[in-house]
Structure 1
Amino acid sequence: MPIESTPISDTTKPMHRHQPDHARTRRALERLLEQGLLATPVAGCGVREVIERSWRRCVGAEVPVGRHDIPYVADVTDLQPRLHAAASPVLDRLGDDLGDARVAMFLSDDQGRIIMRRVGESQQRRIFDNSCAAEGFDFSESSMGTNGLGTVARERRPLLIHGSEHYSELLGPLTCAGTPIFEPFTRQLVGTFALACRTGDASALMPAMATDVGRQIEGNLTAMLGAHERTLIHAYLLATRTDRQPVIVVTESTAFANTAGVVHVTPEAHALLWCDLAESGLRAGKHRRAVRLPGGLCDALVERVDGVGPTGPAFCVRLLGSPRSPDPPLPPDRRRPRRNAAAPAALHPVPDIADQLRSAVGFREVLAVDGPRGSGKLTAATAALTEATGVPPLMIDLARAECPESLAETGAAAVVLHHVHDAPSEHLRRIRTAIEDAGVPIALTVDLDVADQDAAAVVAVLCTTVRLPSLLEMSAEVPRLVTRIVAGLPDRQRDTRFSSDALQALMRWTWPGNLAELRRTIEQLARRNPGRSISTVDLPPRMQQAPLRGRGMIETAEREAIVAALRQASGNRTKAAAALGIGRTTLYRKLQEYRIPASG
């Protein structure tokens, strides 16, 4: 029966029994803020364990308690459109039943961003607007602290948050009852729903009502499944019924797995699998091949499932072994690093290139690191010499300074000569003499594609050259590079995460600025969205619509020739490269580009 112009508290018993003491609860939070994460538990002050757990996460993430700039998305129409469609009729019906009751309804996506708000009374609307509880605002726990949307998403269970239990002072006057919303079958979190009102108007029925609404929305999501989703679910059930091995099913926007395979269902794994398989050109049927996972290549039986939907096919992947790490153990150093030396940076994300760098320096050869602008030449050269000597080398930028006549007299244990291709021609003779007489490990950085003939001759005569690929050539390494960049960021930025759709877009981008462009992009996104999950809509517009790079007939023929050569050479890359008439480094770049395992 509809309720007309009547607050909920007038029709049901208000909540007195479990409401915390406001002053006591805020004092407990103040003590936690003052003493930090080492403070003794505050549960003895009447604070529930789930609330203290959330508070401590907020303190660790340095979430402000008072008013602050909350991330805001102006257009929420593209955020979870299926969830929006499933929730709209449910909230419409509930709104009719509530009439002018002083309660508001909120729907958020899986990242805590409010995508729908229904509030009928103007005074209530002003209260929520003042608390930034409106469409577009980020109510994730890392942004707004403990609340009925973000904390529910983090805990993945229904919660009732009383006014004083909210972390932010903005939400102090409100009480919220929230519930998570899960994708049918996969149980992937797609959003949260909450009822909220002024604490004095709260009802004991709010948690039950919120939970019931959440289940109704999930029921609508199930009803919205079309024939293509049912085809996908059928393939998954068939695979898991006949196999006990890890099974993962992927589409462009979905990934789910059986118990053995769930450890591999991460944003990084989904992005790698989808981009790898969608670009593979696999036809219908089952194929044995190596697939890419964050831990490395893994042998798998892959079945293409057509008729799944307009975004492309699905792939059912049965893993036949454990991922083979792309980073093999380091061989014993020929030269023991000095004690207390800083741990060297990774030489290069591609193991074969890292081996070439390490080998050249280990044999005391002059190393020339070649590659396009932004490909990480200076980083690789510096890391290689640091690993060999135990101390950072002296860096001399030949585009800005002359090369000393004697590198030995600099007193450095090793030297990097940066930008050899930018050195004036009249300085090349001095550079060559200094290298020949150095007596210490030397590395050069050079872009042979733009170097003049004289600079190229110096490199050819004196150096062992290792070419670094462009980021476009090693797009499969993008998720691992993103993780590495984020891990080195400061404070809350280190908690920033990237969704699968964002990683897919980054893998599809052409990266004209190479690693330097990737690092700048990731650092900028983390600085603007610290601690949040980055999705495609957060990326620069030019990166959001990057298409999958399919293969034409020439690329397909080249891939098949490489696979055949590797098979004939029993996986020996040197023999395969000779049979193909290309260099070993070129072969490895092709292996990366075409996602070919070393064994073919």
Structure 2
Amino acid sequence: MPTPSGTPVPPDGAGVAASRVRFLTGGPVEVAQVRAPILASWQRSCDLEVSADRIEMSYVRDPDLDTPLTRASEPVMRSLGEQLDGQSISIVLTDPSGLVLRRLTADSGLERHLDKVLLAPGFSYGEEFVGTNGIGTALEAGGPIRVFGHEHYAEYLENLACAGVPIQHPVSGRTIGALDLTCWRKDAGPLLLTLARTTADQIRQALLADTGAHQLELFQEYLRACRRMTGVVFAMSSDVVMLNDYARTQLDPADQAALLAQAAEAAAAGQRGPILVRLPTGTPARMYCRPVRAEEEHSGVVVHVKLGDSDNPPVVRRAVATPMLLPGLVGSAPLWLRACDEVERLFRAGEWLAIGGEPGVGKLAVLRAVQLRRQPVGRFLVLDAADAAGDPDWLPDARQAIVEDADSLVIRHLHALDGTRLRALSAALRSAQDSRRERPLWVAVTLTHDHQSKALVQLLQLFPSTVDVPPLRLHREDLQPLATLFLSRLSQGGHLAISPGAMRLLMRMDLPGNAQQLH
């Protein structure tokens, strides 16, 4: 952000330390003294109630070192480490949540200090844990950033400087991790971020070289279809979904979800088309599917959709384009995207999941959307534990779903079960884990963090991962697309729009019921 004189605000320039103290004590901060991305991160850290005077973190989990990212980055990091041998710079690789996967440090003094502040494998440097820093802030902002000295939110990091760059997958474009360079503040120079960018680019190139022929062939066929055809074009496989701009901006979210599900079913049945589909908004559509093969194996399907009757093509009117991250969902705030990405990652890994958050934040919506993208023809069942007290068949129905009815099972409001039912449910889930089902069962539970009985804690040991969906107040920038989405569901043609005045009023509202209250 330029100062009044027109010169850029330097990183950790004079006045940053005093500005940080004023910010933390509730005093006014002069924006000319602090760079805009840093000030925004301080505010996020404050909203998340991050401690500024100490580093308090628990070990998250053992890093998974057998992933495309870790395999592609290993020779790049090793080569850079050899070039930096003897210098006080640490090379850090993280996953998309900020969990440290690998760290290379040539200087023993710096390494001991990084251990002390827990910048080490298995710990997360997401903003929600340590506030403003090169890793978490780069992932939150979605772009490269440097954080020097007193720009850090936690005072124990003020003698360090770091430059972080998110790493996007070269085919899907999704953020799959981050590369960070950390050194002593006194040693930091303007080229630290440049070196981090270059290293991240090298990792992306290595990922591209390591990308399988199946993904590349599907991607290339999708691009060819986009060049040749107009209207809705998308491609999908078991790992990725790609939609062209027309599909993302012009189709109602419910219509997108319906097309993806229909395409998955058609691909499984070997249908090519034309396949007639009536979309949820009432629009008729003709769908043409073309299987893609690489090395004699199925890679996915490219789909072209013609909307409306051939004689009367529809006129699609959209008040505001609503970008999609998962079928039926909207939003672009980093906290929201991170939660969605983590749920999708765990679903793909087959890892059972406990998903928490305040009422109305969209826990079930995220689970439905992930299942629709990753297993659209699977059997997805939802059981509400709040019904168990008044329904004597609830527990037998749950056992039936666990044993054979469901491919994906969601148990809502798990905390509503009493101790007896929790223990019975736990026994059924343990049996399912030990059984040899033809298709593995994936289970997710939703709960709030206000209820932690002994029986519940024991059952949650079956769910090694927890994802918290953020409340709407922590991603208010998503209010506009959410309001547009909900209005589109109230009108068949999507003709309703929200006025600027009404939008300003919504932005000022507390909305303790989150997205559910907004709807």
TM-score tier (shorter): 0.5 to 0.7
Q: Distance in 2 between matches of 1:270 and 1:162?
A: 43
Q: Distance in 1 between matches of 2:450 and 2:177?
A: 25
Q: How does 1:407-556 map to 2 (within 5 A)?
A: 488=359, 511=381, 513-514=383-384, 516=386, 517-520=411-414, 522-524=445-447, 540=463
Is residue 67 of structure 1 aligned with residue 18 of structure 2?
no
Is residue 107 of structure 1 aligned with residue 100 of structure 2?
no
Q: 1:242 to 1:269 in 2, by over 3 A?
A: same
Q: Distance in 2 between matches of 1:41 and 1:32?
A: 6
Deviation larger for 233-242 or 302-311: 302-311
Among candidates 68, 75, 80, match of residue 94 of structure 1 = 80
- One-letter amino acid of the structure 2 residue matched with residue 488 of structure 1: P
Q: How does 1:79-90 map to 2 (within 5 A)?
A: 81-90=67-76
Q: 1:99 to 1:68 in 2, by over 3 A?
A: closer
- C-alpha deviations, 1:549-574, integer Å up to 9, x for none? xxxxxxxxxxxxxxxxxxxxxxxxxx
Q: Which residue of 1 aligns with 2:129?
A: 143
Pairwise CA distance, 1:300: 5.5
Q: Which residue of 1 aligns with 2:231?
A: 245
Q: Distance in 2 between matches of 1:309 and 1:291?
A: 35
Q: 1:263 to 1:89 in 2, by over 3 A?
A: farther
Pairwise CA distance, 1:515: 6.1
Q: Which residue of 1 aligns with 2:270?
A: 283
Q: Distance in 1 between matches of 2:106 and 2:164?
A: 19
Is residue 26 of structure 1 aligned with residue 17 of structure 2?
yes
SS in 2 for 1:229: helix
SS in 1 for 2:128: helix
Q: 1:515 to 1:110 in 2, by over 3 A?
A: same
Q: 1:51 to 1:509 in 2, by over 3 A?
A: farther
- One-letter amino acid of the structure 2 residue matched with residue 518 of structure 1: R
The structure whose Rg is larger is: 1
Q: 1:112 to 1:266 in 2, by over 3 A?
A: farther
TM-score, structure 1 as length reference: 0.50
Q: How does 1:582-593 map to 2 (within 5 A)?
A: none
Q: Distance in 2 between matches of 1:43 and 1:297?
A: 50
Structure 1 residue runs of 5 or longer lacking an equivalent are 1-16, 323-348, 350-481, 529-537, 544-600
Q: Identity rate of aligned residues, in percent? A: 24
- One-letter amino acid of the structure 2 residue matched with residue 31 of structure 1: R
Q: Which residue of 2 aligns with 1:42?
A: 30
Q: Which residue of 2 aligns with 1:221?
A: 207
Q: Which residue of 1 aligns with 2:497?
A: none
SS in 1 for 2:40: helix
Q: 1:497 to 1:75 in 2, by over 3 A?
A: farther
Q: 1:318 to 1:503 in 2, by over 3 A?
A: closer
- One-letter amino acid of the structure 2 residue matched with residue 519 of structure 1: H
Q: Distance in 2 between matches of 1:104 and 1:247?
A: 44
Q: 1:257 to 1:523 in 2, by over 3 A?
A: same
Q: Distance in 1 between matches of 2:374 and 2:450?
A: 19
Q: Which residue of 2 aligns with 1:575?
A: none
Equivalent pairs, count: 351
Q: 1:512 to 1:189 in 2, by over 3 A?
A: closer
Q: Distance in 1 between matches of 2:104 and 2:173?
A: 26
Pairwise CA distance, 1:312: 6.2
Q: Distance in 2 between matches of 1:138 and 1:265?
A: 37
- C-alpha deviations, 1:426-471, integer Å up to 9, x for none? xxxxxxxxxxxxxxxxxxxxxxxxxxxxxxxxxxxxxxxxxxxxxx
Q: 1:510 to 1:486 in 2, by over 3 A?
A: same
Q: Which residue of 2 aligns with 1:316?
A: 302
- C-alpha deviations, 1:135-181, integer Å up to 9, x for none? 12222223332111121122222211102111222322210012222
- One-letter amino acid of the structure 1 residue matched with residue 135 of structure 2: L
- One-letter amino acid of the structure 1 residue matched with residue 12 of structure 2: P
TM-score, structure 2 as length reference: 0.57
Q: 1:218 to 1:542 in 2, by over 3 A?
A: closer
SS in 2 for 1:51: helix
Q: Distance in 1 between matches of 2:381 and 2:285?
A: 29
- One-letter amino acid of the structure 2 residue matched with residue 133 of structure 1: L
Contact 2:55 2:117 (8 Å CA) reproduced = no
Q: Distance in 2 between matches of 1:130 and 1:270?
A: 48
Q: How does 1:110-125 map to 2 (within 5 A)?
A: 110-125=96-111
SS in 2 for 1:260: helix
Q: Distance in 1 between matches of 2:275 and 2:34?
A: 55
